[in-house]
Amino acid sequence: MGLVTMVEILDKVHANGTAVPAFDAIDHASVEAIIKASESINKPVIIMVPEAALPLIDVDNYFEYLTYRLGKTKVPVALELDHGKSFNVIMKAIHAGFTGVMIDGSDLPIEENISLTRKIVEIAHAAGVSVEGEIGHVAGGEGDMTEGSEADENMYTKPEDAKRFVEETGVDALAVAIGTVHGVYKGTPKLDYERLKKIKNIVNVPLVLHGGSGVAKEDFVKAVENGINKVNLFTEISMAAVAQSINYAQKKQNKLHFAELVLIANKTVNAIALDYLKLLSLDN
Ligand code: 13P
């Protein structure tokens, strides 16, 4: 199976009204844990690398590892650059063999977002790479570990903007702002399902929910039932892996091998990824 285009995975879940989780992963242990989870129940998955986290990574080596490793999986896997903002980084991901890129122009005025996104779509499609765009704006840190944020209704996606954006850019998937934030929440997320339904009725590409961490399980199910096809997750998994590793180290009074910590992190990521893979395909 191995690496497939992002649209190949998204078109299937779009057609059958389910969703696929997309996990940001910026270390080898997490990638292996996610692959193991998806292979164990034979479900496709999307692995993402957020542009904001690149300073933490040996980028060339990591990209080479990802394209090699994901090329050998037993399930279809797509590899996406998450929250691409810089033209050069997007080009680097395409050249490295990523099968999807997100161009995030969501903090630009709509005209500029449309023209930037359309330009990336032209280049990426010529290389056989799928593109996700964003209209409206999901607040919070996009791949970094910022303080908690609150959703701002003024930045939610307007259905008529979503329709225009998709028609004029040719994106393969659309990230919508309906009440989630990236990273840790301040308060409790409250999703705007009426808005989601309106967008779903007039937009015919898969819809993406960013800021999955902190959303209640029943909200995910409702979001998928109302039109979400891809859910982006990062903070919850990364923080859980750290918390479990620290816990374990404390129990062993810090007398342990580094590999033991990596194993704990790997198991934590595996368990959470498995839960989401089952939950979002609505057959948990
Ligand atoms: P969380 O870190 O809130 O799970 O969001 C991840 C995300 O949306 C990445 O695009």
Amino acid identity, residue 43?
Answer: K
> Does domain 2-280 match CATH 1.10.4080.10?
no
Distance 143 CA to ligand 1 centre (A): 7
Amino acid identity, residue 225?
Answer: E
What is the pLDDT, as a whole number, of residue 154? 84
Catalytic residue among 11, 58, 60, 82: 82
Tally of CB atoms within 10 A around 17: 12
3-class DSSP state of 101: strand
| Partners of 48 in beta bridges | 24, 80
Q: Name the residue of 102, 181, 213 to mutate for ligand 1: max ligand atoms within 8 A of Cβ.
A: 213
The atom number, within ligand 1, closest to the CA of 140 reads 3
What is the pLDDT, as a whole number, of residue 236? 95
Residue nearest to atom 9 of ligand 1 (CA): 232
Distance 260 CA to ligand 1 centre (A): 27
The atom number, within ligand 1, closest to the CA of 24 reads 9
Distance CA 35, CA 45 (A): 8
The atom number, within ligand 1, closest to the CA of 233 reads 4
Q: Is the pLDDT of residue 148 over 70?
A: no
pTM, to two decimals: 0.96
Task: List pLDDT tens digits, range 217-256.
Answer: 999 999 999 999 999 999 999 999 999 999 999 999 999 9
Average pLDDT of every residue of the chain: 95
Across residues 90-118, what is the average pLDDT? 98
Across residues 258-262, what is the average pLDDT? 97
CA distances from residue 173 to 47, 214, 274, 283 in whole angstroms, order as listed: 15, 23, 24, 23
pLDDT confidence bin for 86, thresholds 50/70/90: very high
- 82 belongs to the catalytic site: yes
Q: Is the pLDDT of residue 137 over 70?
A: yes
pLDDT confidence bin for 141, thresholds 50/70/90: low
